[in-house]
Structure 1
Amino acid sequence: MPQHSSLSGRDVHKIVTLALRCVEVDDIEPFNEQTTLALHRPPSPEFRHFIAPHDETIIGYAGVEIVGEAAGVELAVDPDHRRRGVGRALLREVVASLEAEITSLKVWAHGDLPAATALATSEGFIRDRVLFKLSRDLEGFEWPSSWPSSTAGNWPRGTGPAVSLPAGVSLRDFEVGEDEDEWLRVNAAAFAHHPEQGRWTIEDLRARQEETWFDPEGLLVAEDADGLLGFHWTKIEGGVGEIYVLGVDPRAQGTGLGKTLTLAGLAHLATHGIHQVELYTDESNARAVELYRSQGFGIARSDVQWAKRLG
């Protein structure tokens, strides 16, 4: 099965087609945003592509990102070619190519499907991490009775407790070309122990800014005289809103800023006609899960990361 450091435009199209076929059958996207963006990137020693070709199509794909002595993998097989050993062959090819370089391999299984569980366990992987997809309808949401004076005047109001900000703190929209460094600093601090989010670079940030869904007005930032304190980055795509990234600088944690930012982002989505909102958070992040569950979010799906020691 061929391994590539970069892909041709034709192969990218075939892999995107493969992903769409998986969505049609499984109702779950097989690849996360990082893998999808990597399809279009130039060659990099940190990312490798494995494909299973068949005639003029690609029936299996695995994207591998290497970080130090560990690697993460996302893998998908065309629904018409499953149960024929394609996924197992792809996974074994990835292991064989990396076992001299890394000590840990982790594979995402989106949706926690039985077939993925069977493949992972039979190849010696253990259940290592669970990512929840949470969702709720904004109909009937208990909006606050008032917002801080620095916020937009058309945000919804209801009968809930008034929202306030810590003294000296204000909310505003992200300013492209001005806030990138501060945003990266807060993001790294807020997600210092997160295996993916905390490693974002300026290239990762700019890649998202180039996406068609990016809207600086949907990236709300909180600041005081000393700089950014937190942010709520919302996303609208396909008529669905998302709490894309919500982060609070450690110096502002425990002040209630996270809850205020959450409500502000939801209000922004509501003013843009969004009714359904979703987000992703780790099962192990009890504080975040408790915050979102308290605001009416329920678990819509679980993604599982499987891990195996190599070498």
Structure 2
Amino acid sequence: MRRDLVKDVPAIDWPEEFELSTYRAELAPAVHSLMELGYREGGGRVPALDVWQQRFERDPEYDPTLCFIARDAEGIVGVAQCWTSSYIKNLVVHPRAQGRGLGRLLLLHAFRTFQQRREGFVDLKVLEDNRRAQSLYESAGMYVVRRELVPE
């Protein structure tokens, strides 16, 4: 899916219950645990912590300032892992924080950040049967972009 960044991004009003920060290596175990939980509920899996962390931190598109982390009083409840290519690699919200608009806030924060970086759009991939995620993305102004497969 894609979000055109030429269009306005709504203002973000972070609730006091959430604190926003960016990725630091010491947060890797907690971020990894949330990713595992998110993938378990949404399909797929995450490699072991050491493999995941090495792949994440050594990826050519890695920038710790583009991995947005939301915390509440109990710990990390949301992660939007973005790449420098204006791509949202992962968006995960802990079940205890779902339904409170956190996923939308993280998306909007990512959109604003890429807008400030003068990007034209933001992309992400979502499974076709993940209607809950698609609804969230559509509510934030994203739309489906399909690529035509070219026979080899």
Return the TM-score normalized by structure 2: 0.87
Whole-Å separation in 2 of the counterparts to 1:193 and 1:139: 33
| Aligned match for 1:292, one of 122, 131, 137 | 137
Whole-Å separation in 1 of the counterparts to 2:109 and 2:18: 14
Where does residue 14 of structure 2 map in the other structure? 164
- 1:142 equivalenced with 2:9 (yes/no): yes
| Conservation of the 8 A alpha-carbon contact between 1:184 and 1:200 | no
Where does residue 269 of structure 1 map in the other structure? 114
Name whichever structure is richer in strand by fraction. 1
Whole-Å separation in 2 of the counterparts to 1:223 and 1:269: 22
| Aligned match for 1:258, one of 103, 121, 137 | 103
Whole-Å separation in 2 of the counterparts to 1:273 and 1:298: 20
Whole-Å separation in 2 of the counterparts to 1:168 and 1:290: 24
Whole-Å separation in 1 of the counterparts to 2:74 and 2:139: 31
| Aligned match for 1:212, one of 60, 66, 70 | 60
SS in 1 for 2:68: strand
Q: Which runs of 4+ in 1 moved over 3 A?
A: none
| Aligned match for 1:182, one of 30, 35, 42 | 30
| Conservation of the 8 A alpha-carbon contact between 1:187 and 1:247 | yes
Deviation at 1:250, TM superposition (A): 0.9
Question: Per the alignment, do residues 296 and 168 of structure 1 end up closer, same or farther by CA in structure 2, a change over 3 Å counting?
Answer: closer
SS in 2 for 1:179: helix
Return the TM-score normalized by structure 1: 0.45
| Conservation of the 8 A alpha-carbon contact between 1:136 and 1:277 | yes
- 1:246 equivalenced with 2:126 (yes/no): no
Deviation at 1:217, TM superposition (A): 0.5
Identity rate, percent: 24
Question: Per the alignment, do residues 168 and 143 of structure 1 end up closer, same or farther by CA in structure 2, a change over 3 Å counting?
Answer: closer
Per-residue deviation, residues 210-241 of structure 1 (Å, max 9, x unmatched): 0221000000100122210111111123xxx1
Gaps of 5+ in 2: none
Whole-Å separation in 1 of the counterparts to 2:148 and 2:99: 29
Q: Higher relative contact order at CA 8 Å, sep ≥6: structure 1 or structure 2?
A: 2
Per-residue deviation, residues 28-70 of structure 1 (Å, max 9, x unmatched): xxxxxxxxxxxxxxxxxxxxxxxxxxxxxxxxxxxxxxxxxxx
Gaps of 5+ in 1: 1-133, 148-162, 305-311
SS in 1 for 2:40: coil
Per-residue deviation, residues 252-292 of structure 1 (Å, max 9, x unmatched): 11111111111111111111121121110011111111111
- What amino acid does structure 2 have at the position aligned with 1:179? L
- What amino acid does structure 1 have at the position aligned with 2:28? E
Name whichever structure is richer in helix by fraction. 2
Question: Per the alignment, do residues 294 and 303 of structure 1 end up closer, same or farther by CA in structure 2, a change over 3 Å counting?
Answer: farther
More off after superposition, 167-176 vs 244-253:
167-176
